[in-house]
Structures are given as structure tokens and as C-alpha cells.
Amino acid sequence: MLTPKAAALKYEKEGDRVPIVVAKGKGIIAEKIIAKASEVGVPLFKNELLADSLLNVEIDRAIPPALYKAVVEVFVWLAKNEEGARTKKSAS
């Protein structure tokens, strides 16, 4: 069985210049991050290579430039996911 890995990012258009790592971990810590995200309705994006890279970033630190493209892809996916959820909700 693979050890779970997780990282949580924060990005505010008005304040942050780049996304910030706000939580990260492996094993039980990763499971808690994933559970909390699920509990509050945050969609989960699975990318083991990106998770491995984010685990090397200190908490409350900006992601390094080498990860910008990969993280932008996550935010694009998230925006589409949220838009789809809004569309479904307004159609109900």
C-alpha cells in the first residue's frame, strides 16, 4: 500500500503574489489533510509528482517558480470544477 501524501495551497488574488503551502504531510497527516478538505468541500486533485515536490516546500512559504506551471494547471482544474458545480446547482 502506498503512503498517502497531501499538500494544501492558499492563493488570494488580491494579496498573494504566488500560492503558499499552508499544510503538507505524509501518512496520517496526509489523511487528516484529505479528510478536512473533503469535510469542507474542497475538491481533491491527485498528482503524486506535484505532491512530492510540494512536500519539499516549507509551510507558509511560496511555491518555487519551477512549480508554477503545474500549480496553475491545478487552479485551472479547480476553477472548471467549481464552475461545473455552480452550473449543476443552479440547474436544480
Could you give the 3-state DSSP secondary structure of residue 73? helix
CATH number, domain of 80, equals 3.40.1690.10
Buried b (16+ CB within 10 A) or exposed e, 8-43: bbebeeeeeeebbbebbbeeeebeebbeebeeeeee
pLDDT in tens, 32-41: 999 999 999 8
Q: Cα–Cα distance between 92 and 45 in angstroms, integer? A: 26
Count structural domains, the chain: 1
pLDDT in tens, 18-62: 999 999 999 999 999 999 999 998 889 999 999 999 999 999 999
* Residue 50 structural domain: 5-91
β-strand 20-26 against 5-10: which pairing, if any?
antiparallel
